[in-house]
């Protein structure tokens, strides 16, 4: 079974600054997918960024980037130029590739990020 | 673009009552997932369906059952409701991975309150 650990329950960052959220995971799989989801106060689950384990290059999406360290089983999210709208709960998640079946997401416990003026 | 539809959005029930949550996946999506998110918790996987067959089962109580119908919509039936069942229930849909992984698109959730 896979486990996902987020050791930072809460974090705070000032607007326009950079913040890094940490995530570690445990799996015996060699091929898998990692994600960061954002859950704002509306409670909608929004995919922020995804990383395929077989890709060495770190994924980036505008102000969001990851630092994927496969050997260390670490997957951190960096948010640059933080904006008030980034205030949300952030979940790290894991999934396996599938053929002819579904692939559930396993989530970490989340990090609550507060962006302040 | 069409999104995942969940109904109802809010539901209030008494203990020991029954509730039915519905999920309408994005058109042409063949896979449906149900997750339960308690207050202050992360979403926990309950059950999934691929092509109308149960695919995987997580921490779903025996009091809960679910199915996926011929039109691919899914229903989560919850009986003998307990206070601890109060949560946000997400449905997500995707296209089967075909050896890869395709994004799960989440619905807005159904907020169930058990009194």
Q: What is the mean pLDDT of chain A?
A: 95
d(CA B73, CA B57): 18
Greatest mean pLDDT among A94-98, B53-57, B81-85, B102-106 = B81-85
d(CA B91, CA B106): 6
d(CA A38, CA A85): 11
Contact state of A100 with B96 under an 8 Å Cβ cutoff: yes
- DSSP code for A38: E
Question: How is residue A88 written in tokens?
Answer: 């949300």
Contact state of B56 with A97 under an 8 Å Cβ cutoff: no
Residue A23 has pLDDT above 90, yes or no: yes
Average pLDDT over residues A4-17: 98
pLDDT value of position A56 = 87
pLDDT value of position A109 = 97
Residues of chain B with pLDDT > 90, as a percent, come to 90
Q: Under an 8 Å CB criterion, which residues of A touch B?
A: 33, 43-45, 47, 50, 52, 91, 95-110
pLDDT in tens, A49-78: 999 999 989 999 999 999 999 999 999 999
SS3 B102: coil
pLDDT value of position B34 = 98
């Amino acid at each position: 079974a896979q486990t996902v650990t987020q050791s930072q329950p809460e974090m705070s960052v000032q607007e326009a600054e950079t913040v890094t959220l940490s995530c570690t995971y445990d799996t015996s799989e060699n091929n898998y997918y990692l994600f960061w989801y954002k859950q704002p106060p509306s409670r909608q689950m929004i995919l922020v960024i995804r990383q395929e384990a077989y890709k060495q290059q770190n994924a980036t999406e505008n102000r969001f980037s990851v630092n994927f360290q496969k050997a260390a089983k670490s997957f951190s999210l960096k948010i640059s130029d933080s904006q008030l709208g980034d205030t949300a709960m952030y979940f790290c998640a894991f999934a396996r590739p599938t053929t002819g079946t579904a692939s559930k997401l396993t989530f970490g416990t989340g990090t609550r990020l507060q962006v302040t003026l | 673009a069409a999104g995942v539809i969940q109904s109802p959005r809010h539901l209030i029930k008494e203990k020991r009552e029954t509730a039915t949550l519905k999920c309408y996946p994005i058109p042409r999506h063949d896979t449906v997932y149900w997750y339960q998110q308690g207050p202050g918790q992360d979403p926990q996987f309950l059950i999934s369906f691929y092509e109308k067959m149960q695919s995987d089962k997580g921490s779903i109580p025996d009091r809960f059952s679910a199915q996926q119908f011929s039109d691919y919509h899914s229903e989560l039936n919850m009986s003998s409701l307990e206070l601890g069942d109060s949560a946000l229930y997400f449905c997500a849909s995707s296209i089967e991975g075909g050896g890869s992984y395709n994004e799960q698109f989440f619905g807005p959730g159904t907020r169930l309150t058990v009194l």
